[in-house]
């Protein structure tokens, strides 16, 4: 088997319009596909998606943000007891990181837009991530996101035989 790379990240949101508006306004997302509702039965939902009886995909869209894998966003109906977003220390928690040209300038723009940003940006000095600037933020529904930029080559690059792929490659 040959794995070519990351194709997309799929995740569920409580309100599709809010999510699309957020990613479009904050990160310049472009909606590539609007798939709408998926008309299948309980057996399909359970055996193919691991979703309990009564739950259905009420909306599905694919967004592209810059270069790299896309975001496949789902809104479900019929979820009886939605659980809150996991904090980053819990198993199954996740975040998505977006590379920006300047994390400091982007942080100011996010704050001006009223986005819920955590403390930062933080410049890492020393070690394998030397020169990485990062900051966490939260989408309106609580999903953790991150912005990153680099002030120069990262620390690991001086001795690495393999390099991380980043959207800024090939500019």
Q: Domain holding 115: CATH number?
A: 3.30.720.110
Average pLDDT estimate for 1-27: 93
Q: Are residues 135 and 117 in the same domain?
A: yes
Q: Which domain holds residue 150?
A: 83-171
Q: Which of 81, 113, 136 is the last residue of a domain?
A: 81
Q: Are residues 66 and 98 in the same domain?
A: no
Close Cβ partners of 152 (under 8 Å, ≥ 6 residues apart)? 131
User: How confident is the model over 84-105, as pLDDT tens digits?
Assistant: 889 889 998 999 999 999 999 9
Q: Which of 81, 103, 129 is the last residue of a domain?
A: 81
Whole-number pLDDT of residue 148: 96
Whole-number pLDDT of residue 171: 54
Residue 48 maps to which CATH number? Answer: 3.10.180.10
On the question of pLDDT at 169 being above 80, the answer is no
Nearest to 78 by CA among 95, 108, 56, 46: 56
Q: Are residues 18 and 77 in the same domain?
A: yes
Q: Which of 81, 104, 125 is the last residue of a domain?
A: 81
Reported as a pLDDT band with limits 50, 70 and 90, residue 1 is confident
- In 8-114, at which residue ranges do the beta strands (DSSP E only) sit? 8-12, 30-34, 56-64, 70-77, 96-99
């Amino acid at each position: 088997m040959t794995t070519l790379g990351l194709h997309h990240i799929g995740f569920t949101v409580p309100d599709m319009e809010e999510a699309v508006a957020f990613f479009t306004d904050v990160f310049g997302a472009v909606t590539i596909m609007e798939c709408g509702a998926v008309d299948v039965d309980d057996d399909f939902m359970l055996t193919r998606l691991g979703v309990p009886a009564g739950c259905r995909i009420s909306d599905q869209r694919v967004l592209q943000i810059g270069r790299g894998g896309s975001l496949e966003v789902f809104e479900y109906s019929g979820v009886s007891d939605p659980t809150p977003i996991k904090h980053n220390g819990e198993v199954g928690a996740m975040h998505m990181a977006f590379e920006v040209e300047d994390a400091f300038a982007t942080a100011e723009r996010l704050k001006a837009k009223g986005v819920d940003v955590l403390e930062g940006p933080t410049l890492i000095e020393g070690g394998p991530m030397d020169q990485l600037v990062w900051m966490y933020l939260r989408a309106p529904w609580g999903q953790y996101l991150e912005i990153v930029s680099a002030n120069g080559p990262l620390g690991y690059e001086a001795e690495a035989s393999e390099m991380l792929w980043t959207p800024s490659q090939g500019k």
